[in-house]
Structure formats: structure tokens, C-alpha cells
Amino acid sequence: MKIALAQINPVIGDIEGNKGRIISAITDAKKRGADLVIFPEMAAIGYPPMDLLINNKLIKDNLAMIDELAAECTDIAVICGYVDYNNENFSMLYDAAAFLNKGKVVSRHYKTLLPTYDVFDEMRYFSPAKNNEPVVFMGRRIGITICEDIWSNEYDIDNSVVVGRKYDTDPVEILAKQGIDLLINIAASPYVKRKNRIKWDMISRIAKKYSLPVVYVNQVGGNDSLIFDGNSFFVNSSGGFVAMADGFKEDIIVVDDEKQNKTVIPHENGIEDVRKALVLGLKDYFSKCGFSSAVVGLSGGIDSALTAVLAVQALGPDKVMGFTMPSEYSSSGSVSDSKKLAENLGIRLEKIPIKETFSNYKTVLAGLFHGLNEDVTEENLQARIRGNILMSASNKFGSLLLTTGNKSELAMGYCTLYGDMAGGLAVISDLPKTMVYELARHINRGKKVIPVETIEKPPSAELRPDQKDEDSLPPYDILDSILEMYIEKHMSAEEIIKAGYDGGTVRSILKTVNRNEYKRRQAPPGLKVTSKAFGTGRRIPIAQKFIP
């Protein structure tokens, strides 16, 4: 049996557009001699649709699309993810997969395990499957599972080991006991750094445990903060990888389930995968939201430089405009390094000094602030002046403003509301500062796109004389390690201190993180690449007094 793995990039809620993508892939699969073509989880609607699922029209339209697709399947079989009604509880739905063949819907299969951790909230919308039976096709008994159904165990993402059971039910085991010849998993599994090695090891173990070949088909593309990497694959009954689709782009591969010699060795590409993920997420955010060009404020620092590089890689140099806005506290490199970066990238750069505007603001506020020393208020004024200039350019040119703050700054509140936080997409907000440096050096491994001076200079907001980030923050290598333990690994202050960190430093950092939740709640959406990003996957009350 020849099986096509159709790794497509659906648009959430675009039923007609998604149908066109699916039919195009079916046509391609037919030309390549496929007997069965498999699409990702919720391919009809796109994942995650969130509260769009409350709209009855969306559900009806996606059901009508499945019937229309079935009519196309007269000489090829299709497995396609969609959303179905729960006819026993009309307030709930099923996350479903339809098996289409001979012009009709042969069977419907529902998701059993519904995740409610991190960015997932599926129990809000879906009922778990009560049962799941194999479907017979071309003499094979095929078990169909949906994404989380293969994640019944809990894994340590850092050490790639099973640490326990996540669910009481194991849908794979239930299907295996019924006797199946092939296991299929359709997924919409978001990219997270280091997650793929866990997934590959897990599914290889499943194949070996049950002596079953496994087909895994994942969605690709960016939807809001989430980035789906594709990397669909076929493993043989010994757990060897036979074929794998390209990562971070649409792809269709055709495999023969009778030719199961091991031919590929999957491997993560580390920081290069992070780059690909950010570029894909940025590109799709623009195309799916209807934006075509970007505005970026360039400070001469590494964060804004990296953001501009990623924007150019996603959109092209003609679609990115940079602004340098020096003040009386800006170093000479603020302008010269920004100019050099713009030349290297081939983007338009506008210089708008803010010294006079800043002086005018201080004059206007002189009476109100009489007798008070200058402090962070005046520092933030400069950031807000720049934010106003950038938002004005965004409005005038119809371009989306990209914010340039990193995860370390966002965690510590080292950013200005309505200033450098103003914008429509926070491209690197899930990159700790140390990872910003790693990615910048990776990008510069060939041609030096980012000026060396930008990477080597001490980071500074340049809002007061001789300012350096480390005047207000611990060294970034220490800060990022503590932040990772607290935010991503959920460790307490005492646990972090026992790991070898200074108690005063740890408690100060954790207190600062908690105190700045109100800022993060007002930040633009960011692109998620770590196991715990700020945003929908980390829901913390603003008004609270928890001591970690």
C-alpha cells in the first residue's frame, strides 16, 4: 500500500481555502500512485481554532466540506482531521478523523486524550472518545489516533526519558489489543525546542513495543503564537525511520508500507530549527493576518538587529523598514551599527532624532514635576517617544510594528509599556538573552550580516548616561538559568538556591518576575519556541501574593 503523508499549512477558519489545499494534495498524491493520503489533525478547520468552535456555522461548514471531500475519493482513500458534533451532548464536540473511500465517509474516529496543559485547553470544547475501532483497507487493519492519543506517558523534555503516566488510558494499547497492522497518528503538535527528539524516541518505542509500523502526519505553519514544524514521518515495525517530510514547510511524501528498510536518521538542528520556526511563524502571522510589510526600531543593539534579520528572511528586504532614533544618551554606534545592519540587509533606514522632542516633553512636564529629580520617568519618556514614532509609521505605511524585546527582559519587566512594548508581534519574546546571542552568532556563521560591534558591545537601553543592562539586571547567563528553572521547570526559590545560586539573587528575580505580570498581560503576542512561553500557556493572576 502506498501512503501519502500530506503535511499542509491550513488557515484557521478558512474552510474553502483549506478544502482547496486538501484537494490539491489529493490530486498530487494520485499522480504519485498513492492508495491512501493522510492529512493532519483538524485539517478542515486549522488548529487551534479556540473559541471559534462556539460558532455553529463553522462546525456545519467543516462537516459539509468532509462530505464534499468524500465525493472526491472515488479512486483514493483519505484520512482527514475535522470537528464533529457530539450527538449525545450538543454543548460539546469531538476532535475527529474521517476515513473517506469510494465516495463516502466510511468511518469516524474521535480523539480520546484531551490535553489541558500549557497552550492546550481541549476539555473546554471536546468530549473524549468512548471507543475507537480499527478500519480495514486493502487487507490492513488500521488504527487511527489523534495527536495526544500517543502521548499517554509523561516525558522529561531535557533528558528524553519517561517519568510516568500522564493518563490512565492508553489509546494505542487499546487499538493494539484489537489487532491492527498499521498505526496512524494525525497531529497538530506545536514546535518546541528539544521536543522532536522526545517525539521521535517515543513513537519509535511504540512501533517496537507493538511490532507495528507507524505513520505520523503533523500540521505545518504558524498560527498566532504557535508554530507547527511538520516533520511528518513513517517508522517501520522495528522502530526505524523509513521516510521523513521536510520540517517547517508544506511537503508531501509517499511511502510503501511493504518497503520498510531503515533509510533516514532524524536529528534536531538546534538553533537552526529555532531560526526556521521564528521565520515561519513571522511569515505566516503576516500572510494570515493580512499584513505585508514591517516596521522595526533599530537601536544598534543585538535584539533589534536579530528581529530585523528574521523579518527580512520572512518577508524580504523590500518589506522591512528600519528606524534609528538617537537621543542625547545614544552612543555613536547606535546609529552607525544600525546603518551598517540596514546596508547588509538591503532595507530602508530612516533616522529621526528624538533629542528635541524629549526636551519639549520635559518642558511641558516641568511644572508638574517641579522639585523632583529625574528618574525612570524620563527614561521611559524616551522609549514612549520612540514608540509613538514607530506606531505613526506603522499607521501611515500600513506596516506592522515588530517589538524587539527578549524573554529575559519581558520576565523582569525591563521594558516600557506603550514604549518599546508597543507593536503587533513580539518576534523574539520567547528567546532568553543568551539564546539571542546564540542565534545571532549562528546567523553570522557565514556572511557577517549582524555587525560584530553589535554582538560584542555590552547591552544597554541607552536611556541615561553610561547605562548598561547589568546595572539593573544580574549577568544574563545567571539570570537566564534562574528564569528557566522558575518559568519552564516550575522550581521554587529553595530548589533553585539548592542548585547553587545565591539566595538573595534568586528571591529578587522571582519577586520581580511576579511583580511584572501586569506588563506581560499588555504585551503583543509572541512566537513560542520554548516549553513555557509567556502568553496563553502561562496564565498567572496579576493580583496575587504567592511567594515561590
Q: Is the dihedral of CA 429, 432, 434, 439 positive or negative?
A: negative
Q: Which residues contact 499 (CB under 8 A, 6 or more apart)?
A: 485, 491
Find the helix or strand (DSSP H, E) in which 240 lies. none
41 given a catalytic annotation = yes
Amino acid at position 278, single letter: L
- Partners of 255 in beta bridges: 3
Catalytic residue among 41, 122, 409, 462: 41
- 3-class secondary-structure state, position 510: helix
C-alpha cell at 166: 500522564
C-alpha cell at 445: 556563521
- Verify cis geometry, omega within 30 degrees of 0, for the bond prior to 48: yes
Catalytic residue among 73, 147, 199, 532: 147
- 3-class secondary-structure state, position 201: helix
Distance CA 504, CA 493 (A): 10
C-alpha cell at 121: 485547553
Q: What is the DSSP string of 399-420?
A: -EEEE---HHHHHHT-S-TTTT
Amino acid at position 502, single letter: D
Q: Which residue has the cell 503523508?
A: 5
Neighbours of 55 (CB within 10 A): 12
Distance CA 532, CA 345 (A): 32
Q: Which residues contact 492 (CB under 8 A, 6 or more apart)?
A: 548
Distance CA 302, CA 49 (A): 35
Start-to-end CA distance of the chain, whole Å, equals 55
Catalytic residue among 111, 195, 199, 407: 111
Amino acid at position 547, single letter: I
Distance CA 321, CA 304 (A): 12
Amino acid at position 431, single letter: L
Distance CA 446, CA 488 (A): 32
Find the helix or strand (DSSP H, E) in which 385 lies. helix 376-397
User: Is residue 208 within 8 Å of 240, Cβ to Cβ?
Assistant: no
C-alpha cell at 393: 509609521
User: Is residue 506 within 8 Å of 548, Cβ to Cβ?
Assistant: no
Q: Is the dihedral of CA 461, 468, 538, 292 positive or negative?
A: positive
111 given a catalytic annotation = yes
Distance CA 190, CA 172 (A): 21
Task: List, by residue number, the catalytic residues.
Answer: 41, 111, 147
